[in-house]
Amino acid sequence: MALDRWIALILLGLCLAYGYTAWFTMDAELAPFMRRNPIWPSTFPKVLSILGVIASLIILLGLEKSGSEVGEIDYRRLGDYHLWQALLLLALMVAYALGLRPLGFLFSTSAFLILGSFILGERKWHVMLPVALIATFSVWYLVQEVLGIYMRPLPGFLGG
């Protein structure tokens, strides 16, 4: 079996475990008034697990290759696939998760988006900066003001 199918099989297992958690364990501790809501805290994880299972099955069954011939991933030449970009993005994700609380949402998310796009090859700073800042502020505003969920916008030493 090709490397992409092995990865899809692993992702299928992860999505099934995630889906099981979302469908059967997340909603057990809901307060009675939340059970009448149309959207529960587990709604987004349920949708993600279903989409992940569908995408994994498409790759496992080879349906994505039916139209055109796509080259197989050669696991002996992983260095040719810009592996350093993937590893840098993973390290950046870990740094983002660790820095979110002490640095605040606005700074952490803006830095993540700017550095992530730089790692992926974007060099137009006049596009990258406004897009990252507008996206960060929009998400913060929607979550904080519209949904009413508090997110620390600024670092703790600045009063966030």
The pLDDT of residue 56 is 93
Q: What is the pLDDT of residue 156?
A: 67
| CA separation, residue 64 to residues 51, 68, 90 (Å) | 15, 9, 26
Q: In angstroms, how far is CA 113 from the centroid of its own chain?
A: 12
Quote the pTM value.
0.58
Higher-pLDDT residue of 146, 158: 146
Band (159; pLDDT cuts 50, 70, 90): low
Q: What is the pLDDT of residues 39-98, one digit of tens each?
A: 777 788 899 999 999 999 998 888 777 655 556 666 677 667 777 888 899 999 999 999
* Interval 100-117 mean pLDDT: 91
* DSSP codes, 29-83: T--GGGGGSSS-TTHHHHHHHHHHHHHHHHHHHTGGGSSS--PPP-GGGGGGG-H
Mean pLDDT of the chain: 84
**Distance (Å, rounded) from C-alpha 1 to C-alpha 73?**
11
pLDDT at 153: 75
Residue 149, pLDDT > 70, answer: yes
